[in-house]
Structure 1
Amino acid sequence: MEISKTSRLSLVEQVVAQMEALIESGTWPIGYRIPPELELMGQFDVSRNTLREAIRALVHAGLLQTKQGSGTYVLTSSVLGAALEKRIQKASLLETLEVRQALEREAAHLASIRRNNEDIEQLRILLKKCQTAAKQKDRKEYVLSDMLLHKAIVDATHNSILIDLYDHMTTSIQASIENLAEMTNDVDFHIDPHKRLVHAIIDQNTDQAMAAVNEYIAQFKETLT
């Protein structure tokens, strides 16, 4: 069996790879305006045309966004994140909720098995923040605390792929939470199932944890009808 020789990366591909590394490592964080052309040309030791072609490739991939008269900014932290964001933007709110249910139910199951003392402390802190925000009817603070609580549950799975996948969907998931909060006019309408979810994870009761996820997602779906 003949094996074809691998082709060397072109200069443009090399610059793209280096820029992706800067983005994925957080050296260029989301929202960061990348350095001007002359600085990057010197940094990568390439011509203006090569640099511009590399930037165009990353804009097309969804990692960068060029704003006329302002500069070029980091839009997301990876190609996977960009691809997911593009796809989720085309999805309905119901479809997003169904994906949330699948991810968060499995996260609840794994977190119930794998959570450690540090995870438990973080879950209690964030649940308390959700409860305080709900009591004060502070919708903005509630949405933020709620999102952080879900992320903490996913982190408690200690599954790196699930954590990365959920992180890349965070923007769209947060948008779905905000949209539903606007539609309900009652910011604490799903505090109780969240309390049951956190307590079930702490008690390592996988069935109750998954049931709690099903409960608040069902409440969300009822809001859409």
Structure 2
Amino acid sequence: MPDRPTGSPKAVDTLNFLKTRIVRGDWPINSRIPREPDLMAMIGVGKSTVREAVRALAAQGMLEPITGVGTFVRSRTPVASVVTDHLAEYSLEDVLVYRRALEMEAVRQAAVLRTDEQLSQLRAVCDRDRRITAGTPFAAELGETPGSFHHLVFEASGNRLLAGLYVAVMPVIRAAVRGGRLRLGADLEVFDADHAAILEAIGERDAAAAARAMATHLDHDLVV
């Protein structure tokens, strides 16, 4: 996988600028990065240079442009596109089972290994999500991805392989949702309650309770 765009030194510098902000967490997972004119002013480069860098990071799975909405952070590290392509060859039922297995193990490990800082981050995301109402742009984005709460659970698990596999499966999930082949199985209020139960179990370092809460949540989540 290429680590930088081909082209001018400005494009390389722009890619490194964007990647640093992503890796450092300045732009959290599933957040929208500044719009193109803002990036041009921030970095001091032209439109074509910004687009080249964004395309390169999108090819690495770190960014995802959504037409008419913006460009979103999807991973803090490059994602092996070969894994995503491989998963796309399977049925959606198989992909959902695969994702469920990853989520269940990640939440068990997160309950045991999470740090106080990671717990605070999970609480902050839960508080933010509770303020999101139906019909808002971010509510639509939550419908296309389980959101940063799940990514934080994987980070709290401390298992980079689990996190990488999860990030690799999400483009398949998002494409299926946008194509109408997957739909949400519950509304945002149910999701908020599910996340609160998962958060409580992680806070108590109760791996069994965390797994039960995650299983309940996944039963409410995306369905074919």
Query: TM-score, normalised to structure 2's length?
Result: 0.60
Q: Distance in 2 between matches of 1:172 and 1:198?
A: 26
Task: Report if aligned partners of 2:100, 2:218 keep a CA contact under 8 Å in 1.
Answer: yes
Aligned-partner residue type, residue 114 of structure 2: R
* Residues 97-106 or 175-184, more deviating: 175-184
Larger Rg: 1
Structure 1 equivalent of residue 7 of structure 2: 35
Task: Report if aligned partners of 2:110, 2:157 keep a CA contact under 8 Å in 1.
Answer: yes
Structure 2 equivalent of residue 126 of structure 1: 125
SS in 1 for 2:213: helix
Structure 1 equivalent of residue 35 of structure 2: none
Residues 151 and 176 of structure 1, relative CA distance in 2, 3 Å threshold: farther
Residues 99 and 175 of structure 1, relative CA distance in 2, 3 Å threshold: same
SS in 1 for 2:198: helix
Aligned structure 1 segments of 4 or more residues deviating by more than 6 angstroms: none
Q: 1:76 aligns with which of 60, 66, 78?
A: 60
Q: Could you report, residue by residue, the CA deviation over 1:25-78 in whole angstroms, capped at 9, with x for unpaired residues?
A: xxx3xxxx5327xx9xxxxxxxxxxxxxxxxxxxxxxxxxxxxxx989532359
Paired residues, number: 163
CA drift of 1:212 comes to 1.3
Residues 172 and 198 of structure 1, relative CA distance in 2, 3 Å threshold: farther
Structure 2 equivalent of residue 151 of structure 1: 151
Residues 126 and 176 of structure 1, relative CA distance in 2, 3 Å threshold: farther
Structure 1 equivalent of residue 162 of structure 2: 162
Structure 1 equivalent of residue 105 of structure 2: 106
Residues 126 and 113 of structure 1, relative CA distance in 2, 3 Å threshold: same
Q: Distance in 1 between matches of 2:80 and 2:123?
A: 29
1 or 2, which has the higher helix percentage? Answer: 1
Q: Distance in 2 between matches of 1:196 and 1:174?
A: 25
Structure 1 equivalent of residue 208 of structure 2: 207
Query: TM-score, normalised to structure 1's length?
Result: 0.59
* Unaligned runs of at least 5 residues, structure 2: 12-50, 62-76
Query: Percent of aligned positions with the same letter in both sequences?
Result: 19
CA drift of 1:156 comes to 0.3
* Unaligned runs of at least 5 residues, structure 1: 1-19, 40-69
State the superposition RMSD in angstroms: 3.4
SS in 1 for 2:147: helix
Aligned-partner residue type, residue 96 of structure 1: V
Structure 1 equivalent of residue 14 of structure 2: none
Aligned-partner residue type, residue 119 of structure 1: Q
